[in-house]
Structure formats: C-alpha cells, structure tokens
Amino acid sequence: MKKTVKDYIRTIADFPHEGILFRDVTTLFADPRGFRMAIDQLLHPYAGEAIDKVVGLEARGFILGGAIAHQLSVGFVPIRKKGKLPGAVISQAYTLEYGEAVMEVHDDALQPGEKVLIVDDLLATGGTCEAGIKLVERLGAEVIGCAFVIDLPELGGRKLLEKLGMNVHVLCEFEGA
C-alpha cells in the first residue's frame, strides 16, 4: 500500500498536557521520502504562480518554508516569536487558548507588492497564521496562500483564514484537538 503524508506523522498522547494528542511531524521530516512528498504536495497548488517569498511561521514552518523557498528559488522570511529577531521589527499580538502572544518580522523583510506564500506544519485555531497574515499585509505584500501539513478542523482555523479571504491548502486532517 502506498504511504501518504499522514502515515509518516506520529501521535504522542498526553503531550504537552494530559488529554492532548500531539501530532509530531519530526517523523515526517526525518524520512526522506515522506519529507519530499510533503514539500512536493505543499507546492503543487502553487505551481506556475508568481511567488516572491515564502514566509515560515515559528518554528516548524521554518523547516518546511526553507525547503519550499529552495524549490521555488525564492527568498525565505521567518516570522518569529517576540524578541527573537535582531533587527528592527514590526509586531502583531494574537490570542492563545490561555492568554496572548506576539509574533514579529523584520520591518524590511518584504517589499510592497511582493506575493507571499505562508507555510506552517499545523493549522489549529488559526491565530498564529492570522498574525502572520497581518504582518505580511502591514509591510504591503500580498498573501497568495497559506499551506499546512496538518489541519485540526474542529478548532476552526481553516474557517477563520477562509473568512479572511485566504486560499488554504492542507495535506491531511486529524480529528480532535
């Protein structure tokens, strides 16, 4: 039987808290066939589209985004948690299940009019990606799509991003939070 991307992802029970089923993509990244399959499938809907930069959301989005940027021969831009970037930044707060967090990007990372693909490993509530979209748009660039390996549909992230007018591409879904 032919393997799918989902077959390479392991589930770890009770991490980081009891009752959570953590979807671990490190097993996908460690397997050369699985990793190539994921990168190829994340890229597929955007073949032939003009993309100037790939934006990766901290932290596993860096791994995927870097590989995708390489395949497309375009630049890569990290969006990081507050306090991790050394230069002048712009910040965007977003809400978490319990509290608030802040994402940042260098204020010169994107130019007005650039077309951007945002990449991350997991789409849950959509808050992190929404913050990334706002940062990209504040720099004058345009998000042409948001690509994820995993969607947790029960948490509503895809609906949130689509409500913002985003084209959302996911490789697989898992039930539960």
Question: Which structure tokens are listed for 56?
Answer: 């990766």
Torsion from C-alpha of 48, 53, 61, 36, nearest 10 degrees = 40
Distances (CA, A) of 12 to 7, 19, 51, 102, 136: 14, 10, 35, 27, 33
* Residue 82 backbone class (left: φ over 0; alpha: ψ -120 to 50; beta: rest): beta
Residue of 10, 33, 36, 97 marked catalytic: 97
Residue of 60, 80, 114, 158 marked catalytic: 60
Q: Is 97 a catalytic residue?
A: yes
Q: Is 33 a catalytic residue?
A: no
What residues are annotated to the active site?
60, 97
